[in-house]
Amino acid sequence: MPDKHIFLRPGDRINFKAVSPLYREKYEAEVMGVKDSTLFVSMPLSQGKLVLLSTGTPLEVTCPYGRFSFASEVLKRDFQPSPHLVLQLPYYLSAKKNRARVITVTSGKGGVGKTTFTINFAINLAQKGYRVFVMDADLGTANIDVLLNIQPKYNLNHVINREKELLDIVVEGPGGFHLIPGGSGVLSLADMEEWQFNRVISGLQTLEDYADIILIDTGAGLGKNVINFALAADNIIIITTPEPHSITDAYAVVKVLNQQNKNLVPYLVLNRVESAKEYRAVATKIEQVIYRFLGMKISPLGYVLDDPVVPKANRRLEPFSLSHPSSSAARCLQALTDKFVQPEQPISSSFSELGFFNRLKELFK
């Protein structure tokens, strides 16, 4: 068994209650280790005697300090080397072997639907079985929690100020993804003191060994935060609409990225298009202009139709992929998600072996 785990570590105490008329008490146990999708805990005691929970007993488990809970069941009970139970871990808590894939979602201007796309894209990825984290990196004006009608108790400010560790601020979003709240008034990474910057990056680095996919929702524009988040990512998704000024701003982002790394191949997503025909025409034109003037490739990933259910869902603070799963916008997003997760889709970073947050540290230096 590994000697540590991102959320659960040997020596941690957990509480659980059996969903069974045979076991009516609340029990406490010590974590012995984590292996793949199983959790090893000491056999609980009741009045000084071992509680021999039966294989298959459903459990409601609460983890250290009540930070999170999950449903489980007893897979096995054993007495060697000491009395213990083997519990089932949900997929999003099980150990993983591969480093997370980090995707930065950005745009040349605000108001093109970037954050709405990020939220619903995260939901689609989570529904496919990926462990997805979304970092609200629009530092200072973070708003994903508002769009999801979530009131997180803590955010990145609490991490920066040494009040909380990163995993203490993570909250579960709708559809199964996890959110790292940015909080209002958070300093730009470029403006932080070195100790503040290192604390944020060190905390975020723990996610690379835990998540399958980390989505970075940046602010819009050409600020240092935005560009460095994009350059450090494994993949970049640029959101634009068919409107000329939106395309011009998206081109400006691509141009700046190209000046820093000519090997990047960003993805392009067109939002609020009238038809597939319009998408093909606009995407082709953008591809041609970028290649002609920058000598750079961009990979059209897909489009989202202009659908009235999207603003309606946003006003109700609910993701349209969940509230209107059969809508044209939801179907479009599902199609581009399917395309993105195909094995042949490349990682565009030229130095991915360093890990996203190590790359980010190098860029901000």
pLDDT, mean of residues 331-358: 74
How many CA atoms, within 13 angstroms, populate the side-chain half-sphere of residue 328? 13
pLDDT, mean of residues 174-198: 80
pLDDT, mean of residues 310-328: 97
pLDDT, mean of residues 211-230: 88
Number of Cβ within 10 Å of residue 285's Cβ equals 12
At 114, the pLDDT band (50, 70, 90 cuts) reads: very high
- 237's tokens: 């998704």
What is the spatial distance between Cα 277 and Cα 242, in angstroms, rounded to a whole number?
A: 12
- 257's tokens: 């990225």
Span 252-266, pLDDT tens digits:
999 999 999 988 999
Domains of the chain, start order: 13-91 (2.30.110.10), 101-364 (3.40.50.300)
Which letter, b or e, does each residue of 256-269 get, where b requires 16 or more Cβ atoms within 10 Å of its Cβ? ebbeeeeebebbbb
pLDDT, mean of residues 5-31: 80
- 314's tokens: 């946003």
Which residues lie across from 16 on neighbouring strands?
A: 27, 61
Nearest to 324 by CA among 310, 342, 337, 338: 310
pTM, whole model, 2 decimals? 0.74
Q: In this predicted structure, which of 29-33, 78-82, 191-195 has the lowest mean pLDDT?
A: 191-195
